[in-house]
Structure 1
Amino acid sequence: MKKNFKIFLLGLLLAVASCSFTTNKIETNTDSDKDEVLIELISFVLSRGHYDPKDIDDSFSKAVYEDYLLGLDPRKRYFLEKDIKEFQKFEDKIDDEINNHKISFFNLTHQRLLERIEETKGFYAEILEKPFDFSESEEINTDYDNIPYASSKKELKERWRQQLKFSTLGNFYDLKKEEELKAKEDENYTQLSDEELEKKARETTKNSLDEAFDIFGDLEKKDWFAIYVNAVVEKFDPHTVYFAPRDKERFDIQMRGSLEGIGARLQKKMDNIKIVEIISGGPAWRGEELEVGDVIKKVKQEDEKEAVSIVGMPIDDAVDLIKGPKGTKVTLTVKKVDGTIEDIVIVRDIVEIEETYAKSTMVEKDGRNYGLINLPKFYFDMENANSRNAASDIEKEIVRLKKEHMDGLVIDLRNNGGGSLSTVIDIAGMFIEEGPIVQVRSGDGEKEVLSDRDDSILWDGPLVILVNELSASASEILAAAMQDYKRAIVIGSNQTYGKGTVQNVVDLNRWMRNSDMGNMGALKLTTQKFYRVNGGSTQLKGVESDVVVPDRYSYIDIGERDMKNPLPWDQIEPADYQEWDGYIDFDETIKNSKKRMAKSDQLKLIDESAKWIKEQRDENTYSLKYEAYKTKIAEDEKQAERFDAIQDYKTDLTFESLPYEKNRFKTDTTLAEKRDRWHKSLSKDVYVEEAIHVLEDLKLNNIRKSEMADIKN
């Protein structure tokens, strides 16, 4: 599995709690190596806290060895064959190093990698000084997993030459197309020559590599060590992850959907920190002085006399200086887009990442109203239980939709990777009287049934759940519960992601007897598995949709079953629950939906497109000859034209934001634009269209509704 050089994995958190599997602590002394202590600490926690602890033996060692080297050098363009031969003596010794809390293998590979990176800086600079000949017949194989390591520096340099030529060829093709377009738009325009374009293409390639090596320069030893640690912990299962201190902070921000700062996204370009996005509603957005493209040169805190230059500073350190507690002031010395220099004072505030949160719309069809709520993740704030969370927001949206007299509700969980387990229980309880929602089992076999204890129902009308292959974890719990209760009809992919495990985030510092080692970070480890109320696990198998529809992911390996080291599927005894009796034509509605889907030309086209996407992804040999490259792109574009009709599809549905949001549009034009784009996308969405058809077909049991009304009265 290929990894980014700076590890930051946003895992699918289902529960955040303290592990109470032991009260022992790790003893250290001032002479201890922090990295060695970290290995000891992590192996200690894993052996006692993981749902299915692994034997750290020679087999384990070989798996770590393979994945770690792949993570360090995925394109095999740094290490040489002789390096690998030297490393191989550790292939079955990493287990011994872990058990003895040693890191000789890491130290060797880390030092060697830094040496090779320095050597290859000269490679790419030298190679890109000379023009490439795109008339030569030559091919490149990008199946790096099956390509051997280079046997010599000469062979390694040749590998770099091919890869740089491939990158430059793509840039050259794009520049040629731009020139042709300019000439077409202006008959007096004089196109640049191929020689000029080739030179420009090489410069673009070099600039990209300069930036990449600049990022390498920012990485510290601890960043590389995080890659090694994660190669170890991921052997337990795909969702056990080590968070370095900074990564844990980012993880918390993603889970709660907010942070304290200025409300701008930054990117490092060479030595400069540039504004790449102003977050709607944040302090920078409200101040209207900072804009995309501005470069931040200096940062001054309100309690300091001097500003600190952040030119050349690692972006993480720059971000740490710029963000800060709500209500504090920060002064940014900024080079504006027009070249002028300004000092901009910003009062930091809570910045909500709007795309994280639930949003709703009213769908009108044939004079009837249907609500649609999109939930990107099951968010919550680990540090503040009183702040907004997915359950409270969903509740608010349902109440608002009911005020607009909705006749049915769609919950869109597509691409929702999961989140808080407690919010799932709360949300599921909004649609049933009471009863079990999910069963959770620990590694020792102890089982717990998590239930909705509130017999009130927020929405007792028709309900549809939309899912796809990227609906995972908490999404699968909600979809499975609604399916088992026959409370909702699930429409989507053949199956969801298949993540049926529960993770706890453990603060590693709490296991340290001495505190002088500094922040040790955190470990997210799998401690439990969850099961549907019918007894089956969603692990590997996911949730099979009641109505299966193809999508672009249908033939791509992206599920839990396609990952390394997943825990197996199993089942336990079902919980005690009663199916929902609020519908009179549940099964018939599913049959009718399947018939419509089978006749849909749009879905047939989507299925053909998904197969073609799979074919494209499986290609790994490309020509480095311009004419052949151009011909292949033309063929692909012609083939792709067949699928343009997918985007041209138009439903007869109309979408309208709710009154409270329309009021916000008066002062927040950015939000208005976002909702307009969302509505345009929904109006072309065949899956939403079918969800509305299903809501139309679902007939409620009027006798039951009468009984419920009597109970409420």
Structure 2
Amino acid sequence: MLKSSYFVLLLSLVSFFGYGQNNGLFCDQIIALKRTIKINHYQPKVVDDSLSTHVFDLFLNSLDEDKRLFTKSDVAQFEHDRFTLDDYINTGSCEFINNYTTILSARLEDTKRVISNIETEDFDYTGKDTLIFKPETTFKYFNNDEALKNYWSKRLRYNILYTLVENDSVLEHIKNDFKALESALKPKVIQKELCKLEELKNRLGSVDNFVKEAFLNAYLHYQDPNSSFFNASEKEMFVNALSNDQLSFGIITSKNDDGDIIIVHITPGSAAFNNVDIEVNDVIKSLSTNMKTLETYCVSDEDVLAFTSDQNHNTITFKIKKQNGTLQNIELTKTKTKTEENTVFGYIIEDKSKVGYISIPSFYSDLESPNGLGLANDVAKELYKLQKENIAGLILDLRFNGGGSMKEAADLSGMFINRGPLSILRYSNGETYTINDMNRGALFTKPIVVLVNNYSASASEFFAASMQDYNRAVMIGSATHGKASAQVIIPIDTNEALGFSKMTVEKFYRVTGKSHQAQGVIPDIILPNLYDGFNTQEEFIAYALKNDSIAGIQNFPKLKKLPIEQLKKKSLSRIDNDATFNALKRLNKLIIKNYFELDTEYPLTLDNVYSEMIRYKNQWNTINTPLENHSARFTVKNTEYTKEIISYNDDKKTINQAILKDIKTDIYIEEAQRVLQNLLNLMPQN
């Protein structure tokens, strides 16, 4: 790295005159956040040396997570702040942040220069250098400039070899034309890495913004991992994710291999849908309002989403590059659009009995509706349609449901029990409040199976726990995420320009007084899981709230115990002899071995990279074949009402066919259907 004293001095001056101008806002944010945490957080931590050292580690990790930018000398310099961040917070001092912004900016530029300079060098693929693969936890900061250059030289060479094999799996083809293929690919691979660095440089608008928000988030994440800082755009995006009706342009974007932001989906009925000039696969070159323009080259898809989600950007001019190469400026104004991902539909699964199936993606709510109608209301409508089809039971799928509105979770729980307490909230002062189902009677009284996995969290766990405590449903799958806390979005100051916080303000407990915090809701029947051993649950996240218990409710109107042991025995027998579930177990072990526990090295040659890639690919294909070819014996179809609705819309027909296929090939849904069939046999309905 070119770290001359002149260069460092120049950057220091830029820091003083450039970044320092914005520090007034940052100082105010620190003061406001400290006050807000103390008043509102469920378990605020003392601002002392202990807080300082932990926030320091979180902050540094968020700036350079893979340890590929900072050097050991940089980190040694930062270490002076390890026990002084608490002093800065207590005094509202914020000039310390400039050092991090200055050095991160410098390292980004240094890395870009190193990568750019490498492009002129001839790469050595003879095996003189060795590739070393280690688990991420063993990553270390670079010792010096030579280590940085050596890393990028090997990484770029590996990326080139990897891409060549990915493009053509016949080794002889690559060898026969290696020089030309390598020469053509090299600048593309280098440009891709430069673009990633440019994205980081432009994240949140500037390195300065990125560093400051990283610190505010580190401060909040030390309180607990579910508390975080939001700027106005991030707050808007989060709120929209919890609503099935939102103001939007109706455009979903993605980044292609060339670094372009392309339109991958247009929501039916949206502003974009109603404009004939905008199409899927169009490239977005820039976004402009009266006040601001975002050029999309080397900008992340997340930053594009933040720009379009900004509540101040209700009208945007999209500069679009069509597939024929022409450019168009298209002005769109946000309209209220129903979010497809936050909408539920009921399906019929038929084998020996006819049962209903509903996948619940999140516990969304219409935040602008006077009645707050959302997920529970939508499920009620689908249940009505399913019951018209005379279903004997119901499968509710909560896999990958990260939560949402607790009110929706309570309303949904109340649809399946007669009446009674659902959960106990506990506030920071120790007071408790019992959430009750106040509506006598149940909307659906037949047997239920609920599918969960380790990505089912928060409101999902609220619902799953209440169903389990009331003996209302059989829970199958894997232990859930383990988040038994509730957050609210609040401005950190009366001046909302300072930003917002999603802050943990309470914990919730099962009616028994037990908690699933950091443990998860344990299913009645545990199924093999592709994500076993990934350690993504709350218990593996630093500073997660601890599990505890409180006094529960002794007498609540739970139902007669379900025949869990009989169902478990039958399910276990099926799973042990099921080729697809056994394949899934082997696939899980393959992923763990090759991604989480990989610890190997070999000479950097085309032959070695090829053999490693082909070995893994062949293993994957062999194991994955039973899963790819699996098809359940049941039939799956739409309700009569849904058939009529989709008959008028070709897009909906296409999406519907894909969903029907997914249901039929999903081994978990198949096992849920078998468990439900066993339950129906053991509990015959009148």
Q: TM-score, normalised by structure 2?
A: 0.88
The worse-fitting range, judged by mean Cα deviation, of 459-468 and 268-277 is: 268-277
Quick one: distance in 2 between partners of 1:417 and 1:319?
20
Aligned to 1:205: 189
Q: 1:99 to 1:307 in 2, by over 3 A?
A: closer
Q: 1:583 to 1:32 in 2, by over 3 A?
A: closer
- The answer to whether the 8 Å contact 2:160/2:185 transfers is yes
Aligned to 1:90: 81
Quick one: distance in 2 between partners of 1:300 and 1:65?
37
- The answer to whether the 8 Å contact 2:636/2:664 transfers is yes
Q: Secondary structure at the match of 1:104?
A: coil
Q: 1:204 to 1:419 in 2, by over 3 A?
A: same
Q: Runs of 5+ in structure 1 lacking a partner?
A: 1-29, 184-189, 707-713
Quick one: distance in 2 between partners of 1:621 and 1:31?
47
Q: 1:637 to 1:324 in 2, by over 3 A?
A: closer
The worse-fitting range, judged by mean Cα deviation, of 656-665 and 523-532 is: 656-665
Letter in 2 for 1:634: I
Quick one: distance in 1 between partners of 2:78 and 2:267?
46
Letter in 1 for 2:345: K
Q: Secondary structure at the match of 1:643?
A: helix
Q: For residues 38-74 of structure 1, give each alpha carbon's deviation from its aligned partner in whole angstroms, at most 9, with x where no partner exists.
A: 0111111112221111122222211121221121112
Measured on the aligned residues, the alpha-carbon RMSD in Å equals 3.2
Quick one: distance in 2 between partners of 1:544 and 1:34?
46
Q: 1:443 to 1:141 in 2, by over 3 A?
A: same
Aligned to 2:3: none
1:282 paired residue among 256, 270, 284: 270
Quick one: distance in 2 between partners of 1:307 and 1:615?
47
Quick one: distance in 2 between partners of 1:701 and 1:433?
22
Letter in 2 for 1:292: V
Q: For residues 434-490 of structure 1, give each alpha carbon's deviation from its aligned partner in whole angstroms, at most 9, with x where no partner exists.
A: 001111111211111101011121000011100011111111111111111111000
Q: For residues 333-382 of structure 1, give each alpha carbon's deviation from its aligned partner in whole angstroms, at most 9, with x where no partner exists.
A: 5331112344556564222221232222111113x311000001101133
1:247 paired residue among 234, 244, 258: 234
Mapped pair 1:565 → 2:521 = no
Aligned to 1:487: 472
Mapped pair 1:351 → 2:337 = yes
Q: 1:309 to 1:629 in 2, by over 3 A?
A: closer
- The answer to whether the 8 Å contact 1:273/1:297 transfers is yes
Quick one: distance in 1 between partners of 2:232 and 2:152?
35
Q: 1:594 to 1:474 in 2, by over 3 A?
A: same
1:339 paired residue among 294, 312, 325: 325
Mapped pair 1:432 → 2:417 = yes
Aligned to 1:407: 392
Aligned to 2:132: 140
Aligned to 2:35: 44
Quick one: distance in 2 between partners of 1:631 and 1:309?
43
Quick one: distance in 2 between partners of 1:31 and 1:73?
23
Quick one: distance in 2 between partners of 1:131 and 1:172?
17
- The answer to whether the 8 Å contact 2:415/2:442 transfers is yes
Percent identity at matched positions?
A: 27
Aligned to 2:608: 628
Q: How does 1:68-467 map to 2 (within 5 A)?
A: 68-137=59-128, 138-177=130-169, 193-218=177-202, 219-220=205-206, 221-266=208-253, 274-296=262-284, 332-342=318-328, 344=330, 346=332, 348-366=334-352, 368-386=353-371, 388-467=373-452
Q: 1:32 to 1:336 in 2, by over 3 A?
A: closer
Q: 1:382 to 1:208 in 2, by over 3 A?
A: same
Mapped pair 1:536 → 2:514 = yes
Aligned to 1:21: none
Mapped pair 1:502 → 2:449 = no
Q: 1:41 to 1:335 in 2, by over 3 A?
A: same
Quick one: distance in 1 between partners of 2:145 and 2:600?
23
Quick one: distance in 2 between partners of 1:120 and 1:421?
46
Aligned to 2:15: none
Deviation at 1:547, TM superposition (A): 0.7
The worse-fitting range, judged by mean Cα deviation, of 656-665 and 479-488 is: 656-665
- The answer to whether the 8 Å contact 1:263/1:279 transfers is yes
Q: Secondary structure at the match of 2:242?
A: helix
Deviation at 1:209, TM superposition (A): 2.0
Q: 1:335 to 1:610 in 2, by over 3 A?
A: closer
Quick one: distance in 1 between partners of 2:285 and 2:501?
35
Q: 1:115 to 1:557 in 2, by over 3 A?
A: same
Quick one: distance in 1 between partners of 2:87 and 2:349?
61
Quick one: distance in 1 between partners of 2:176 and 2:269?
44
Quick one: distance in 1 between partners of 2:311 and 2:220?
34
- The answer to whether the 8 Å contact 1:583/1:698 transfers is no
Mapped pair 1:683 → 2:667 = no
Mapped pair 1:574 → 2:552 = yes
The worse-fitting range, judged by mean Cα deviation, of 339-348 and 222-231 is: 339-348
Q: Secondary structure at the match of 2:350?
A: strand
The worse-fitting range, judged by mean Cα deviation, of 498-507 and 424-433 is: 498-507
Deviation at 1:289, TM superposition (A): 3.0
Q: Secondary structure at the match of 1:75?
A: coil
Q: Secondary structure at the match of 2:96?
A: helix
Deviation at 1:325, TM superposition (A): 9.1
Aligned to 1:619: 598
Quick one: distance in 1 between partners of 2:303 and 2:138?
38
Aligned to 1:606: 584
Deviation at 1:249, TM superposition (A): 1.0
Quick one: distance in 2 between partners of 1:32 and 1:597?
59
- The answer to whether the 8 Å contact 1:533/1:577 transfers is no
Q: Secondary structure at the match of 2:188?
A: helix
Q: 1:312 to 1:583 in 2, by over 3 A?
A: closer
Letter in 1 for 2:567: T
Mapped pair 1:663 → 2:644 = yes
- The answer to whether the 8 Å contact 2:419/2:557 transfers is no
Q: 1:552 to 1:701 in 2, by over 3 A?
A: closer
Quick one: distance in 2 between partners of 1:177 and 1:206?
22
Q: TM-score, normalised by structure 1?
A: 0.85
- The answer to whether the 8 Å contact 1:584/1:701 transfers is no
Aligned to 2:54: 63
- The answer to whether the 8 Å contact 2:475/2:524 transfers is yes
Quick one: distance in 2 between partners of 1:308 and 1:570?
50
Deviation at 1:300, TM superposition (A): 7.9
Letter in 1 for 2:79: Q
Q: Runs of 5+ in structure 2 lacking a partner?
A: 1-20
Letter in 2 for 1:505: I
Q: 1:165 to 1:691 in 2, by over 3 A?
A: same
Q: Secondary structure at the match of 1:487?
A: coil
Aligned to 1:589: 567
Letter in 1 for 2:246: L
Quick one: distance in 2 between partners of 1:473 and 1:429?
17
Deviation at 1:175, TM superposition (A): 3.0
- The answer to whether the 8 Å contact 1:297/1:311 transfers is yes
The worse-fitting range, judged by mean Cα deviation, of 240-249 and 142-151 is: 142-151
Deviation at 1:282, TM superposition (A): 2.5
